[in-house]
Structure 1
Amino acid sequence: MTDDAVQIIARGPRAEAEAAAAAIDSDIALEGATYSILEEDEDHDVWRIDAFPTSAEEIDALTARLAEYPKLKVVVEKLADADWLAMALSGLPPVRAGRFFIFGAHDRGRAPVNAINLRIEAGAAFGTGHHGTTVGCLIAYNDLLKARGFKRVLDVGCGTGVLAIAAARTGSPVAVGTDIDKPSVRIAAENAKLNKAPARFVHASGLGHRAVREQAPYDLVFANILAPPLVALAQDIKGALVPGGIAILSGLLRTQERRVLAAYRSRGFKLVRRIHRDAWAALVLQRP
């Protein structure tokens, strides 16, 4: 955290704001950046990005990225001493994705009785359910559940753990999540406890961790990461799946679909479905 906590606010038209958000998400240097993007004024096409950098380097990287989009008006404001992350998340509305309703502590009273309610606290981890990639994964999973169940589920790059927790809450007796970020693993475990979900999370890079190998092969693998690691992990994900198993891949821009699909099709995967949310894509693939 910086000595003086700041908030970066960018306002502008939807197309420009979404392009800037996509650039932030695809920037390796900003992989852990916390931000939200919301519509502020529908009548005047004003969208708003709120970013909460935790270091001087993140401030510089975020402002540099946002400066690439001249239609955005960017300001940097000092935050008063407060729980800045809780403040940021308190402004995010709950999300409905099929049977799943994802909410934070500030929306506990809004959880409907006809949904699988998942309370997800982000802390410093990615994946509150608001991002188009996470929503796409949940929608894909929701629709797959209409036809079949999944006994063994792996969530690669679990972030807050929302996808593994969703699997555990819908009857998967084995739900394992991994992340290269130690705080994310801790936060995911805390979220699993909040939701009384028997999901297990481990700190790992790739699929070689013993806790991952011991539970393989899996019926379903989530990988909501970035396009380059999705391509690099194609063979490992194939090896982790049962024949006929399903991979739900996201974290990629629509413009990166062809590259990711080529890596998996070359290993025999069949495209079952693609879901587009704004600039983002989720791919549902089946192992041969």
Structure 2
Amino acid sequence: MTYNPQQIIARGPRLVSESAAEAIDGDVLLEGATYSILEEDEDRNIWRIDAFPTTEEEDARLQEVLAGFPELTVTADQLADADWLAMALSGLPPVRAGRFFVYGIHDRGRAPDNTVNLRIEAGAAFGTGHHGTTVGCLIAYNDLLKSKRFDRVLDVGAGTGVLAIAAAKTGTRVAVGTDIDPVSVRISNENAKLNKCHARFVYANGLDHRLVRSDAPYDLVFANILARPLVGLSMAIRGALKPKGLVILSGLLRTQERFVKAAYHSKGFRTVRRIHRDAWCTLVMQKV
């Protein structure tokens, strides 16, 4: 039986919403779940989780997890039988993050002349540039570029490829991305062609790929995934970096920041910077 897509919306106070988002992240049955969390009404302290299940099982599990937080108001809206993802993306405005301007085909005539323009078509992959984690990574990278360039860059969990493509378009000679989803790998390679850049993307579990090993060590690693995988990959990321190399970590909630920082500090990293956007945190750390 074909699953009819729907959008699950949960609203509640910030701390409860962040705890619910952390519960989604930590649930092994929801490892591939797509959701976002943002502040909807600052004056009333209302935060909102939007989740987009793709199967009946994922739908049921998301609703079960959210039901564990009675302070949340949870609703579900049936999505029209159409390409709802494309329709939703067509209504998203372009994103400006420092020198970077991220846009889709519907905004191709609006790209300025004085920015690094990244045309990103999401398809079924994560990373249009609108999510707080992606914006945080781009802002962190933009600021690092003010003082240095990065010859070799690795993007772990590349999604649409936006971060590796941003690197390739700002002077990086070797830009490699990995993802555990073959659809994301296809989309990211298509986006590299759209942007006429040399970024390459491969299917890999973390950093386990011949191309990733052959191009190491890297000056910079992006890892915009989830908190637990970030911790699990901390030693592998350290091994892939040059001495004094940098890593930009995101995909973690503010409530998970201490957990991730502790894991990287124990592996010989120091914190350079942190960026908060909505409920999300981006960390810049250096191998010491």
TM over 0.5: yes
Tell me which residue corresponds to 2:178.
178
Inter-CA distance 3–283: structure 2 relative to 1 (3 Å threshold): closer
Equivalent position SS for 2:109 = helix
- Does residue 224 in structure 1 map to residue 214 in structure 2? no
How does 1:60-75 map onto structure 2 within 5 Å? 60-70=60-70, 72-75=72-75
Letter in 2 for 1:114: N
Tell me which residue corresponds to 1:206.
206
Letter in 2 for 1:192: A
- Indicate the percent of aligned positions where both proteins have the same amino acid: 73
Deviation at 1:79, TM superposition (A): 2.9
Instruction: Kindly provide the CA deviation profile for residues 206-265 of structure 1, in whole angstroms up to 9, marking residues without a partner as x.
Output: 223110011111110111122222222222111111111111111222222223222222
Tell me which residue corresponds to 1:153.
153
How does 1:79-158 map onto structure 2 within 5 Å? 79-158=79-158
TM-score (norm 2): 0.88
What 5-or-longer segments of structure 2 have no aligned partner?
Answer: none
Distance (whole Å) between structure 1 residues aligned to residue 60 and residue 77 of structure 2: 14
Equivalent position SS for 1:238 = helix
Inter-CA distance 131–15: structure 2 relative to 1 (3 Å threshold): farther
Distance (whole Å) between structure 2 residues aligned to residue 209 and residue 145 of structure 1: 28
Equivalent position SS for 2:198 = coil
Distance (whole Å) between structure 2 residues aligned to residue 146 and residue 37 of structure 1: 30
Kept in 2, the 8 Å contact 1:133–1:250? The answer is: yes
Distance (whole Å) between structure 2 residues aligned to residue 22 and residue 176 of structure 1: 29
Letter in 2 for 1:105: I
Letter in 1 for 2:140: A
Tell me which residue corresponds to 2:163.
163
Tell me which residue corresponds to 2:252.
252
Inter-CA distance 7–228: structure 2 relative to 1 (3 Å threshold): closer
Distance (whole Å) between structure 2 residues aligned to residue 163 and residue 130 of structure 1: 13
Between stretches 274-283 and 108-117, larger displacement belongs to 108-117
Inter-CA distance 54–39: structure 2 relative to 1 (3 Å threshold): same
Between stretches 100-109 and 206-215, larger displacement belongs to 100-109
Distance (whole Å) between structure 2 residues aligned to residue 230 and residue 280 of structure 1: 14
Equivalent position SS for 2:160 = coil
Equivalent position SS for 1:133 = helix
Distance (whole Å) between structure 1 residues aligned to residue 169 and residue 107 of structure 2: 20
What 5-or-longer segments of structure 1 have no aligned partner?
Answer: none
Deviation at 1:8, TM superposition (A): 2.9
Kept in 2, the 8 Å contact 1:2–1:56? The answer is: no
Between stretches 85-94 and 275-284, larger displacement belongs to 85-94
- Does residue 279 in structure 1 map to residue 279 in structure 2? yes
Between stretches 117-126 and 13-22, larger displacement belongs to 13-22
Equivalent position SS for 1:109 = coil
Count of matched residue positions in the alignment of Structure 1 and Structure 2: 288
Letter in 1 for 2:135: V
Letter in 2 for 1:89: L
Kept in 1, the 8 Å contact 2:3–2:54? The answer is: no
Kept in 1, the 8 Å contact 2:11–2:48? The answer is: yes
Deviation at 1:14, TM superposition (A): 6.4
Equivalent position SS for 2:108 = helix
Kept in 2, the 8 Å contact 1:52–1:85? The answer is: no
Alignment RMSD, CA only?
2.6
